[in-house]
């Protein structure tokens, strides 16, 4: 009898995708699902229910490790909601998911909360490797215990994670460079506003900035690039004062890039006399960002479908635990350009 793996090879998809179609778990495009069902019918595939039930008798403990979120930092709510949706679905298969969080601005919190996670003795871990050096410590402990782990949202090379699910941060930043070039023309002058205490350790932001800068280098575009850094955005009055004073001093600036999910905060700080003067580009479709986009305060948002990242990660690692499915080394999310005109869909909170 033909196997799920053989069906996957014929359909040119992963075994996990075939399994999702067989069990009607969603998360597969209608075109791909129809193709898989056609092959299943053609090959007269029959699910071995006895083997499946035996496999499901074993319980697995899955731990997720994501940054916490609040009203000022909403991005991580979206993948968290994706995790929660998948958690309900995989529970019936014997995968019990427990969620742990850490402060995304504090490496110490990352290490301390990981110890809490590790004490729960998980069978597998989904983690966001926010801090590169601290992730080395975390991964060494997981590997010492033989615990498989998957990287979510942030892709760091040099580790033995079984898979990565998320956006290509470098290409995301590279796309912003192309958009900025198209908006401003040759010899553009723009401002990059960074909001991280340790930008080199926050890998995803670092790769976006690298991709953004390299677009202009690769295409021989002469630019005037200015930078403004903030450790925090909590003191909005201070941020507003600094930004507008900077723009007053550099009135030839035509573009502003915020390589994080905080573009709405920055756009709201810009005084009215500067409105409409800049091409503003940021990342992620949080509710505040979408509001700024619809109010013409932001020109473009780069979306990475973060809800789907969280959802897909739980399902893929569950397939790995239950059926020993070989996962794709990397599953990249689509890079989408969101404008006021195509922002009909609800924001990913």
Select the more confidently predicted residue: 222 or 52.
Answer: 222
At residue 93, the pLDDT reads 80
Per the listing, tokens 């915020």 go with: 258
Torsion over CA of 308, 311, 317 and 320, rounded to 10 degrees?
-90
Lowest mean pLDDT across 68-77, 98-107, 319-328: 68-77
CB 310 within 8 A of CB 152: yes
**Does residue 65 surpass a pLDDT of 90?**
yes
Distance CA 226, CA 224 (A): 7
pLDDT tens per residue, range 165-207: 998 999 999 999 999 999 999 889 999 999 865 454 467 888 9
Mean of pLDDT over the chain:
88
Burial class (CB in 10 A: 0-12, 13-18, 19+), 187: exposed
H/E stretch holding 283 reads strand 279-283
Nearest Cα to Cα of residue 170 among 200, 217, 209 = 209
pLDDT tens per residue, range 257-310: 999 888 999 999 999 888 778 999 999 998 899 999 999 999 999 998 889 999
Per the listing, tokens 């729960």 go with: 120
How much of the chain, in percent, has pLDDT values that exceed 70? 91
Distance CA 196, CA 259 (A): 10
Query: If you ran DSSP here, which 8-state letter would residue 60 be given?
Result: E
Residue 57: pLDDT band (50, 70, 90) is: low
Q: 10 Å Cβ neighbour count for 71?
A: 8
CB 36 within 8 A of CB 2: no
Which domains are assigned to the chain? 4-47 (no CATH), 59-166+306-332 (3.40.50.2300), 169-303 (3.40.50.2300)
Lowest mean pLDDT across 5-19, 75-89, 112-126, 173-187: 5-19
At residue 196, the pLDDT reads 64
Residue 41: pLDDT band (50, 70, 90) is: confident
Q: What is the pTM of this model?
A: 0.73
At residue 200, the pLDDT reads 47
CA-based R_g, the chain, Å: 22
């Amino acid at each position: 009898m033909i196997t799920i793996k053989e069906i996957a090879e014929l359909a040119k998809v992963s075994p996990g995708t075939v399994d999702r179609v067989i069990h009607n778990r969603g998360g597969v495009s209608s075109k791909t699902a129809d193709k898989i069902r056609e092959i299943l019918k053609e090959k007269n595939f029959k699910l071995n229910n006895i083997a499946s039930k035996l496999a499901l008798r074993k319980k697995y403990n899955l731990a997720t490790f994501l940054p916490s979120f609040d009203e000022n930092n909403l991005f991580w709510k979206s993948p968290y909601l994706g995790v929660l949706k998948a958690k309900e679905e995989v529970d019936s298969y014997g995968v019990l998911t427990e969620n742990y969080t850490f402060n995304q601005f504090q490496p110490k919190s990352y290490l301390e909360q990981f110890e809490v996670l590790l004490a729960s003795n998980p069978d597998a871990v989904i983690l966001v490797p926010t801090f590169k050096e601290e992730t080395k410590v975390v991964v060494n402990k997981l590997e010492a215990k033989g615990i498989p782990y998957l990287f979510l949202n942030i892709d760091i090379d040099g580790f033995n994670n079984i898979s990565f699910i998320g956006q290509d941060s470098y290409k995301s930043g590279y796309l912003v460079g192309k958009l900025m070039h198209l908006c401003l023309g040759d010899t553009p002058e723009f401002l990059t506003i960074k909001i991280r205490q340790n930008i080199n350790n926050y890998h995803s932001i670092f790769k976006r900035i690298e991709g953004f800068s390299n677009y202009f280098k690769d295409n021989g575009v002469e630019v005037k690039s200015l930078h403004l850094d903030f450790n925090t955005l909590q003191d909005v009055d201070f941020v507003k004062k600094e930004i507008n004073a900077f723009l007053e001093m550099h009135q030839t600036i035509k573009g502003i890039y915020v390589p994080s999910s905080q573009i709405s905060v920055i756009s709201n700080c810009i005084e009215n006399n500067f409105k409409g003067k800049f091409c503003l580009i940021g990342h992620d479709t949080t509710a505040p960002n979408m509001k700024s986009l619809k109010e013409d305060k932001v020109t473009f948002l780069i979306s990475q479908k973060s809800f789907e990242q969280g959802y897909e990660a739980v399902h893929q690692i569950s397939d790995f635990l239950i059926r020993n499915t070989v996962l794709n080394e990397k599953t990249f999310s689509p890079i989408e350009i969101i404008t006021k005109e195509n922002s009909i869909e609800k924001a990913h909170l």
